[in-house]
Amino acid sequence: MAGHYVRNIWRKLNPPEFDAYRADLEKENLQCLARFLIFGCLASALSLAAQILWLPLPGYGHCIEMAVYFILSLAVFFAFYESLRRNATLALYIWIAITLFWEIVHGAIFAPERETFLFFFLLLVLPFLLLDKPIRVLVLILMMSAVYAAVDIRTKENDILRYDMQHLCVCSVSSLYLNYTLLSRRLTSLGRSSEAQENAEHDPLTGICNRRGGEPQIRKLVSRSQTGAFILLDIDDFKQINDNFGHDVGDEVLKSVAAVLAGSFRDSDVVMRMGGDEFAVYALGMDDYRGVQKRLASLREALRSVTPDGREDHPVTVSVGCAINNGSYPAYDVLYQICDGLLYETKRNGKDGYRIRNSEYREADAGKATA
């Protein structure tokens, strides 16, 4: 029983789903760091203005120090933006720790006669500034609280010390609870967003990418001159399958074809259903003609094993158009047009076959493809 509670507490402090969204949280922490530094500059400027215009001047020097600190910090942020973007969470930890330590020194050494305020305020807003595993935030809180308590005990009177220690306990626990709550909600939100995007970019019938999910990937690969074979295929006489065997059998055929395609290519390749009975594949790095020819021949045989309603006398056949992109194609649309022309050439020549183009792209090809 005790072990169960320990594991449960550890899971809350170290949520396993955190790593799946680390990149998203890193971006949010970069934004939090920028907001923290900008807010610090504004708060320091307002405090300094208030000190000059309306209030007595005992804290004047500290306001100047804080203004200089945050202005320099903001300058460092912009100067090293690219490095900070890759290590935003670590940078946020460092800046928060320095700020908290500065407030410890100022509050306990330069103002020992007053109760602490700003340190506790920063401790409470910490969860709103930093999205990270609660176990790491707990370590930061415990370290800074230990430093604060050690300095406070040496510099403050008992009455003020008692007041500060009570608030330290309350603020530390509250900060950790807020961190856990906010992180849990954010992870849940990211999970739902990721699931919604996954559903939007995948074909609900076959489970492979749909056009919305697959085309942007291929466009990016082509624009970066990534070599590969773009394969466009169409199930022959699919309308007859639906008419003779029913739409439920037609759906099963589509799912089987998609499964064969997904199993015939690597995870790094893009396999998608274009719509209806048309599918497309971008086989990354496959730029050897003989290799492509063998792959299409074996794919053709594998797809012939798909039969509507188990009728082996009606094997599924496909017509294929394939263009090998050696990096010369300027855009996905051009590559698609070439393959579409090859696909219909296959259909005009009796279906159940493939056509492969293995030459570099020329501007004249665009006119031929659309003719």
90-119 pLDDT, tens digit per residue, is 999 999 999 888 888 877 666 677 777 778
Mean pLDDT estimate for the chain? 86
**How deeply is 173 buried, as exposed, middle or buried, from its count of CB atoms within 10 A (0-12, 13-18, 19+)?**
exposed
Checking if the pLDDT of 184 tops 50, the result is yes
Query: Could you tell me the residue ranges of all domains in the chain?
Result: 2-200, 211-370
The per-residue pLDDT for 1 is 60
- What's the topology of domain 211-370? Alpha-Beta Plaits (3.30.70)
Please give the pLDDT value at position 182.
Answer: 85
Count other C-beta atoms under 10 Å from residue 95's C-beta. Answer: 21
Phi, psi (deg, nearest 5) at residue 355:
-125, 135
Over residues 69-87, mean pLDDT:
90
Section 297-321 average pLDDT: 87
* 106 CB-near residues (< 8 Å, 6+ apart): 62
Residue range 186-230, pLDDT digits in tens = 888 877 777 776 677 889 899 999 998 999 999 999 999 999 999
Taking residues 177-187, report their average pLDDT. 86
pLDDT at 65 over 60: yes
pLDDT for the residue 367: 47
Mean pLDDT (whole number) for 316-323: 94
Question: What is the distance of C-alpha 272 from the center of its chain?
Answer: 21
Return the minimum-mean-pLDDT range out of 1-5, 211-215, 236-240: 1-5
> Which pair of tokens denotes residue 126?
């910490």
Output the pLDDT for position 236: 93
204-229: buried (b, 16+ CB within 10 Å) or exposed (e) per residue? eebebbbeebbbebbbebbeeeebbb
In the predicted model, is pLDDT for residue 56 greater than 70?
no
Cα 152 → chain centroid: 43
Q: What is the pLDDT of residue 363?
A: 60
> Which residues, in sequence order, are CB contacts of 233 under 8 Å at separation 6+?
278, 279, 280, 281, 318, 319, 320, 321, 343
Beta strand 353-357 with 318-325 is parallel
CB within 8 Å of 79: residues ≥ 6 apart: none
Q: Is the pLDDT of residue 156 over 90?
A: no
| Amino acid 226: pLDDT | 92
Provide, rounded to the nearest whole percent, the portion of the chain with pLDDT above 70. Answer: 92
Q: Is the pLDDT of residue 53 over 90?
A: no
pLDDT(55) > 70: no
In the chain, pLDDT over 90 holds for what percent of residues?
38
- Residue identified by tokens 């970066």 is 224
Tell me how far apart the alpha carbons of residues 28 and 52 are, in angstroms, rounded to a whole number.
36
pLDDT given at position 371: 35
- pLDDT of 4 > 60? The answer is yes
Quick one: which of 303, 305, 264 has its CA closest to 286?
264
For 30-47, what is each residue's pLDDT tens digit? 999 999 999 988 988 888
pLDDT of residue 262: 93
* Region 270-285 average pLDDT: 94
Q: What is the DSSP string of 140-181?
A: HHHHHHHHHHHHHHHHS-HHHHHHHHHHHHHHHHHHHHHHHH
Q: Is the pLDDT of residue 370 over 50?
A: no
Instruction: Output the pLDDT for position 265.
Output: 93
Q: Give the pLDDT of residue 261.
A: 94
Structural tokens at position 252: 């099963």
Does the pLDDT at position 302 exceed 60? yes
